[in-house]
């Protein structure tokens, strides 16, 4: 590998960490497997030499496709195009007035509809919020079922115990067919290491079930600089990189060729409040190096999104989200999670911030497309026709190109605002109207009646979900 100095230093530090300190693996079966494959094991700790970990990492596919129910939403990861996913993992909601409340199942389904309506996303579901009004037994299977009903995009999975993830695979097998599930990647699931240097039982049980079903994983360490990782950004990256590489190696040991995404997501600690900070420039810089490390190893990459520490929709939520999103997109990663809706340092989702972040995504997309240099775009003949001192507002060229040449915002305020109309109120009203329009135009994608009946039967009998609740979902 030809390395520039920063990547070389981080890589070498990660190799020293894995060889000298090792990583704790809380799963007897996986630990035993690693030992049989030559990895040094002491207690629950595995020690990887560089040649060992890189041998297995290099077995992961460089490019793979995730297949949606609607083939127009298939996603290729590793092919040079960035795919986006909404917020993930937030337990709370923040209302338009800044008040925080527990997220509900209704919120979950509402976000599924909003994501389905947005052309920016080709994947839906997962833990877009964590509903507090579902029982632990219902939690994972009902959210997966709801995603299948409300969306025909690629499926974002949910980590859990062996039994829970097997039920997720059962549902996917009903939707796609069991053979089709095993043949192609259908459901993308994220697992986190527990920094520093630990994979817990839930993460490893999820890994084992997904790899056994040939389903792709995102291995996503999230060390917090100054808390669960070194306070220095380079040290935090070295630690997270070690965890990511060890996790990816384990996936290939279990089932060689399993699709996997390098997903290091380093964060920072606010030293004044001792709380996580995801809207900091240090966090944004960490995302940049995460994408670069993935490219170094030839792996599909996941990195940051519209990350902010803001407590409500505000100037802070705008400038932090834009910095994080643009910084990540400039590195052309393959997959960006937390692209829309996140507030309060991953603590909450917001409908209003979701709409704001869609606007940010549109701006970034336009910016990254760069210049078109066709004869029409250079417009030399039109410049000659208008001549010195003329104007282009009424030219035919402007008429023909005004909708495609310029970026047209949906919620941003431009032009003259009436003095008796507070700009903040107008802005929030445009956000509200955009959200309501998306929900009003939403139509549930068609699903074969027999498949839907089988899904409902499975949930009613295996999970004991009330049939009346299932009817309300669909």
pLDDT of residue 304: 82
Three-state DSSP at 21 gives coil
Which residues lie closer than 8 Å to 264 by C-beta, 6 or more apart?
220, 221, 237, 240, 241, 243, 244, 286, 290, 293, 294, 303
User: What is the number of H-type helices and E-type strands within the chain?
Assistant: 18, 21
Three-state DSSP at 26 gives coil
CA distances from 407 to 202, 332, 367, 403 (A): 45, 21, 9, 8
Q: In CATH, which superfamily holds the domain spanning 64-369?
A: Trimethylamine methyltransferase-like (3.20.20.480)
The structure tokens 């994501």 sit at: 115
d(CA 102, CA 131): 7
Phi, psi of 465 (to 5 degrees): -80, 135
Sheet holding 217-219, edge to edge: 123-125, 154-156, 187-191, 217-219, 260-262
pLDDT of residue 3: 63
pLDDT of residue 417: 80
Three-state DSSP at 445 gives coil
d(CA 428, CA 424): 6
pLDDT of residue 415: 86
pLDDT of residue 474: 65
Q: Where are the domains of the chain?
A: 64-369, 374-408
Burial 57-69 (b: 16+ CB within 10 A, else e): bebbbeebbbbbb
Cis peptide before 294 (omega within 30 of 0): no
d(CA 15, CA 26): 21
Contact (CB, 8 A) for 276 and 345: yes
pLDDT in tens, the chain (474 residues): 556 899 999 999 999 999 999 999 999 999 999 999 999 999 999 999 999 999 999 999 999 999 999 999 999 999 999 999 999 999 999 999 999 999 999 999 999 999 999 999 999 999 999 999 999 999 999 999 999 999 999 999 999 999 999 999 999 999 999 999 999 999 999 999 999 999 999 999 999 999 999 999 999 999 999 999 999 999 999 999 999 999 999 999 999 999 999 999 999 999 999 999 999 999 999 999 999 999 999 999 999 899 999 999 999 999 999 999 999 999 999 999 999 999 999 999 999 999 999 999 999 999 999 999 999 999 999 999 999 999 999 999 999 999 989 899 999 999 888 777 788 889 999 999 999 999 999 999 999 999 999 999 999 998 888 877 787 776
pLDDT of residue 473: 79
């Amino acid at each position: 590998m030809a390395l520039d100095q920063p990547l070389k230093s981080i890589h070498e530090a990660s190799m020293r960490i894995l060889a000298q300190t090792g990583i704790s693996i809380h799963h007897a079966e996986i630990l035993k497997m690693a030992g049989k494959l030559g990895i040094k094991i002491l207690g629950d700790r595995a020690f990887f030499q560089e040649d060992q970990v890189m041998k297995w990492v290099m077995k992961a596919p460089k490019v793979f496709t995730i297949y949606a129910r609607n083939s127009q939403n298939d996603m290729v990861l590793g092919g040079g195009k960035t795919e986006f996913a909404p917020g993930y993992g937030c337990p709370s909601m923040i209302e338009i007035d800044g008040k925080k409340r527990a997220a509900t199942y209704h919120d979950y389904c509402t976000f599924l509809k909003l994501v389905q309506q947005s052309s920016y996303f080709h994947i839906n579901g997962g833990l877009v919020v964590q509903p507090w009004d579902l029982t632990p037994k219902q939690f994972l299977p009902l959210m997966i079922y709801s995603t299948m009903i409300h969306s025909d995009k690629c499926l974002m999975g949910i980590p859990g115990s062996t039994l829970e993830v097997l039920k997720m695979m059962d549902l996917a097998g009903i939707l796609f067919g069991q053979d089709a599930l095993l043949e192609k990647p259908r459901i993308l699931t994220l697992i986190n290491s527990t920094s520093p240097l630990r994979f817990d039982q839930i993460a490893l049980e999820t890994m084992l079930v997904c790899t056994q079903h040939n389903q792709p994983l995102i291995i996503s360490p999230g060390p917090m600089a100054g808390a669960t990782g070194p306070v220095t950004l380079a040290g935090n990256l070295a630690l997270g990189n070690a965890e990511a590489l060890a996790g990816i190696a384990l996936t290939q040991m279990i089932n060689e060729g399993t699709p996997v995404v390098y997903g290091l997501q380093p964060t920072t600690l606010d030293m004044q409040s001792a709380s996580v900070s995801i809207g900091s420039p240090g966090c944004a810089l960490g995302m940049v190096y995460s994408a670069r490390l993935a490219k170094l190893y030839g792996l599909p990459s996941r990195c940051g999104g519209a990350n902010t520490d803001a407590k409500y929709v505000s100037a802070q939520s705008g400038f932090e989200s834009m910095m994080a999103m643009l910084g990540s997109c400039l590195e052309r990663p393959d997959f960006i999670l937390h692209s829309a809706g996140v507030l309060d340092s991953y603590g909450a989702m917001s409908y209003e911030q979701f709409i704001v972040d869609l606007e940010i995504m549109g701006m970034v997309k336009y910016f990254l497309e760069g210049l078109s240099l066709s004869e029409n775009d250079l417009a030399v003949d039109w410049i000659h026709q208008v001549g010195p001192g003329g104007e282009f507002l009424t030219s035919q060229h402007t008429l023909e190109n005004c909708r495609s040449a310029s970026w047209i915002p949906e919620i941003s305020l431009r032009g003259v605002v009436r003095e008796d109309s507070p700009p903040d109120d107008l802005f929030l009203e445009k956000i509200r109207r955009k959200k309501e329009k998306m929900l009003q135009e939403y139509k549930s994608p068609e699903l074969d009646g027999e498949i839907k009946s089988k899904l409902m039967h499975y949930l009613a009998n295996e999970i004991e979900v009330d049939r009346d609740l299932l009817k309300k979902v669909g």
